[in-house]
Structure 1
Amino acid sequence: MKSLFFKFFVGIFAFCSIVSANAQITLHTIGDSTMSDYDENSTDKRGWGMMFQQFFTSDVVVNNRAKSGASSKSFYLESPYWTTVKQQIQTGDYVIIQFAHNDEKSNGLDGGTDPNNPINGTDYRGTTAQGTYKEYLRKYIDETRALGATPVLATAMCRKYFSGATITRKGQHDLGGDYGLPESDNTHDYSYAMGEVAIEKGVQLIDLTALTKTLLESYGDAASTAQLFVSSDSTHPNALGATLVARLCAQEMTNQNILASYINTSTDVLINPSEVDFGDAFTGQTLTKEVTITGFDLDPASGTFTLSVSDGFLIASNKTDTFTSSITMNYTGGNLEFTKFYISVSQSVGGTKEGTLTAANGTITKEIPLTANFIELTGGTEVNLLWELSADDSYVLEGPAIPMDESHTGMYVQSYNQPNATTIWPPESGYTTRKTQRNLLDGGIWPAGEIDEVSTRHIQFGISANEGTELNIDEISLYVGGAGGSGMRCKIYYSKDDFVTAPLLKEFQSMTSNTMNFVSAIPVVKLTAGETLKLRVYPWYNGEATGKTICLADVNIHGVATPTLSLEKPLENQIRWIVEDGFIKIKNAPVHGNLSIYDLTGRLIHKSSNRNESDLYIIKSTSTKGIYIGKIESQEGIQTTKFLVP
């Protein structure tokens, strides 16, 4: 790493930390998979952005919007990302900008701005260090400032590429060695280029490349592999690695007086997350959260921490252990080693469950709030949407909902066939042999060097709520596998906001060839009319290859639909619904009003408009007896009424 452009004068930028002491500040973080959030129940990857909050006081809220697979270009151009982050930025906020890993996808070449037509077969995410990479960094800086917020650049953390005891140039995001250029040549050095933009635009820089180079080299290759990175690659940190990177960033922010007064300078006990929010669950469902603890300069220097939880919550050192009300952790030398543990919660009735995690050693006591919300589903109509994918992409829908057709982006259906004559299915599937949908990427050749999802390559399914209903999704499942080799990988996400936020359903870093894997989750997703749940599968391969397909079967979305229309009792001088003589009559109906009638599943069975001067609609009654919901919309407002057809 060159140092010429990384000698910043802290005093010049001191104004950056002058903010209202009474206002809560949001620190937005944008970047790639080394920074992004992960579901700890789906993968052992951890982005350093998800570990960042523990280093700040409650006056700063970290909004981690980093996205796996993103480059400076793709994060800017693709609608779910930078566009939506800007909508969240307020005056006085800060934005940390970290890109490089995926900007290098085309080995320092620019891939163009059209994801469907990259330049000369390159990955469109690719940028040139001295060209398009700088252009997008400038855009983030200018647009952040226009919103009254403060941009901060952060070079990308190093990849674990060792040569002896030293991180290589490529590990430091300098691709010049691949072109035979001397180390003094900065043409393809992304970290150096970011430093130049920082000086050009007067922006503070956190040099994470240099900081993590020192960190990794202090551990060495073997220890970095064993302790700081996931086993599947040399790019993504695990929980300890991500925590150490987040700590380095916070320390450097203190050094440069960036939000320094809000950075947690406590060196005794750090617990992440600082507030454990389990989110929503259905009654009877058990939720589990991973929590980490680290201790420094402890008093006394040797002792035992007892970690206990309130009634209704349980705790364990490992997921496979028996969960109890408390666990203990011994420490010596004044330091408690970075340790993961797990908290679970379940509740049989609906409502919010609150509690406390307490960590104490007799001298130090830390308390962390625990929160979970349980939802009880009663009544309603079952909805089940199934794509069998054994002969075509047709679906079977049961219940009131609107299905989406399966769609492919950057991919196509190669065939419907078995992955192999001797395909292995999970025993609970009941299958010994059956056809699947075998999918291949456009062009047929899986590129070399892909270690993460590609945003422009996915297979999508979806479901929407009917008018007048609320659709509660309570299960998503599918079978997925690879055919032709054991290098197929994929991530599976679902989203109700077109992937602005997208919980990770499952990640496969390696799938054994010709083996189908069952994926199932119980999300709590509530869809109202007009909202859509989308499910996406993002595949990639562990090297350049042909003849490899990703196989899908029995993609299933299940839920319960309930009516959402307000059932107001009509008053004497309001609109009145009368059922008599085989007709539905509406008294006092507004002229130019629109009439809709739904059954209790939310299915629309009649729609019309009142276009005359009369205040009475006369509609032939449905022949099916039961309770119905009538809705009238006009300039005067909206009225909904439940009525009986005897």
Structure 2
Amino acid sequence: MIGDSTMTTYTADRRPQYGWGEKFAPFFNNNVTIKNWAAGGRSSRSFYYESGMWDVAKAAIQSGDYVIIQFGHNDQKYGDTTSTGPYATYGTYAICSDSTVTDGENCTGGSDVVDTTTTREEHSYYQFLKRYVTEVRAKGGIPVLMTSVVRRYMSAGVVTAEGQHDLSAVKKGTEANPRGNYPAAMKAVATKYNVPIVDITAGTKSVVEAYGSAAVVTPYLFYPDDTHLNGLYATLVAKMAVDGLKTNGVLSSYMLSNPQVVTSASTVSFSDTYANNTSSQFFNLAGMDLSPAAGTVTLTAPSGFKLSTDQTSWSTSLDVSYTGSAFTKTVYVQFAPTAAQSYSGSIAITLGASSMGAVAVSGKGLAALTGTDSSGLWAMMNASLSGSATGLATVSDAVVSASITSSSTTTGTINSTNYTVNRYTATGIAAADSTRYIEFLVAPSSGTLTVTTISSYFGGSGGSGVYVDILYSTDGFATSTTLASKVNPPSNTSSAGYVMNQYPYSGLTIPVTSGKTLSVRIYPYYKDSTSTNKFLSIANMTIQGTVQ
């Protein structure tokens, strides 16, 4: 196996990050030996030339060996064009750098053409795949091509073209021409040279979209970014690869039937929660090679916990029906303590009489709060920053720091209804900046306010890489700062009528004594600091609790 970080084998200190090549072996019997030569950060170009990569892997190939080839992520690198820069070392165009020739056999890319006899282009993904194929065959091996795992670039719940490595409309940096469609280039090589190919790009697109934009956020499928995999996702990709090989008639006689249910988390731990309140988390679940081909997987929660697939109906027992011997599902877990005590146990997963695994759950219940329910609400609509309070809470208007370079309003869709919501620039930085925030302040008019929930609606526009960090402090961020959550809200390509999702953070225990104020700040940013016209919209910021 040769490829990049999505395929490679990781050491224990990198967990829970996995490459799908690590999960490949359990699908085969003992007559198959798997050698994973994939390495993080390599492109089809850099792996070919770097000492200790292709030279070593190629030397190990024996007649009759299958060689799985998957590159593409790092081929898209750009920037410094010097001899040691990222483009020179890693970068390729899908076919040809002049973007005018679609025949990979005859690139006319000017200075990139180094061999006028074969018109081979040194920065052509197609050409490097061709080299791997011909050199594997020269050793008596059998090449197999696999397209790349998608990136988590999503718009309105759908993986974007760029997320599918189709850069036909994308120019990198100051480059004159788009890079092209990498999976299409690999398919062209497969067709031209009669190579078996597995479309991992299409398969992972379906999985990511099936789970939805929220359920793929770190660490539920991808870890810890838009590219890399956790254990569940790596297993799903390995299964796609195996199924694709079977379809191509490759290694079928060595494959095992391996019924299993895999989860994105082995444990779910809740923060301390007051009795008669609730907090919730979720994990992803997948079944594969199940028998019978259609049936029901049952999850059973211990005392103090409930389960749901829609966050509306909650029960201690949850049935997940499936067909086609497989399924994917997001399971929500609610911690609902009724007393001041510790709760622990396991969510049992069964198929008929067979155990399919378990997820450990734990949490601590606190004595029920007594007092006055109190809250602060900032609608953040029609350009207003005003707040309102209930109970014994006091609030002031939201504060927008001077470093938020621009703000505006747009139409946000909340629960199928359109509102004119506030939005703020998310570009210029690729991580939260302590000087760029929107701040919300709440305090008790007397006594102690115990905040149990922070909630808001968020949406992104202009691209799938809009993020927001939510932090809070009880001393004005002088010394005390806590990260409540990191959110990648739904992205929309249109600036009007785009979907906004609610992000509630319940199960909190934040005491705010008389004379103190709770500060909640949100920090918008975008994954690429050089991009423009990316925005975060916000509505109905709510801070709730009880004053005693």
TM-score, normalisation: structure 2: 0.46
